[in-house]
Chain A
Amino acid sequence: MNTILARLNALFAFSLSVTAAVAFACFLTTNFLDYSQKVDIDVNKVVIKNMEEFYVGDRHDLGHIIFTLKANFTPVFNWNCKELFLYLMAEYETPQNKLNQVVLWDHIINRGENPVVNIRKRSNKYYFFDDGAFLRGNKLQISLHWNIIPNAGYLWRVPGGGSITLDLPESYGTSRI
């Protein structure tokens, strides 16, 4: 504290400590909030085909899903939310695996962008390949989940709302997808 540089050092170190305290207080104000939201999911069309998965070299079931999604994420964007990562996940059970989880579609909403999601008759963004050939006649549960990328704190994973259960068709589709 005798020289300017020593005082600058002490001042800077103390400012950093206070910044960390403010960030931690910000985390505390948002950690206990309920981030779940009402989501409307509707599945318009499902087609299942049996196709060769080239990486595996085997014929697996491929699902094609056209869905409609409506949700409003305005309340989620509080002062500790920098980005929102939405993903639509399909869950089902097969004789091979007790739980299969496949991400069909995802979407990023940055802070300041339109927080209302309203998409109609969109097809899945990623291939919905089964591990085997067990999609026909199976029960499929589709729900939207999201991660909140915060300014301070950890990555919140919100188990999504708007879960919908549907029965997959009994036979392979022939229409082009």
Chain B
Amino acid sequence: MFESLPVHMDYSGQKLAEQIFQKIIVIFGVIGFVIGFASEKLSYSIYILGAGCVLAAIVTLPPWGFYRKDPIKWQKPADDEPTTYSPLPSKTAKAAKKKN
């Protein structure tokens, strides 16, 4: 269902998104606690926390551009790779891998 949409963030973007939603929800929780305590209604605290949850969802769920500024730099495919696929790598190739 979601495969056709670009939903990924890069690694630093994921970390940023997590920090952002945690900060938003904690701040709204504290504000809700203060307002609920002042107005003597716990329901206000929960509603404010829910509003913070919705705001955090808007800010961090879609992969906005600033979560994708730091894409992974893949190495270019080496030229001397064999073009034909061999299911079992040869012993010399394994030894070379271990050395690296």
Q: Does A4 contact B (CB under 8 A)?
A: yes
Known pairs A3-B7, A26-B36, A78-B40; A11 contacts B60 (CB<8 A): yes
Number of interface residues of A (CB under 8 A): 25
Interface residues on chain B, number (Cβ under 8 Å): 32
CB <8 Å contact, A10 and B25:
no
Contact of B22 among A5, A14, A26 (CB under 8 A): A14
Question: Which single member of A1, A12, A15, A80 contacts B14 (CB below 8 Å)?
Answer: A1
A23 CB, min distance to chain B CBs, angstroms: 8
> In the complex the two chains form, is B42's CB within 8 Å of A14's CB?
no
Rounded to whole angstroms, the CA-CA distance of A5 and B14 in the bound complex is 13
A151 adjacent to chain B (CB < 8 Å): yes
- CB pair B60–A15 under 8 Å, yes or no, is no
Contact A22 B29 (CB under 8 A): yes
What are 15 A-B pairs at a CB distance below 8 A?
Answer: A3-B7, A11-B25, A11-B53, A11-B57, A12-B53, A15-B53, A18-B49, A19-B46, A22-B46, A22-B49, A26-B45, A78-B40, A79-B39, A79-B41, A152-B42
- Hey, which bits of chain B sit against chain A, CB under 8 A? 2, 7-9, 14-15, 17-18, 21-22, 25-26, 29, 32-33, 36-37, 39-42, 45-46, 49, 52-53, 56-57, 60-63
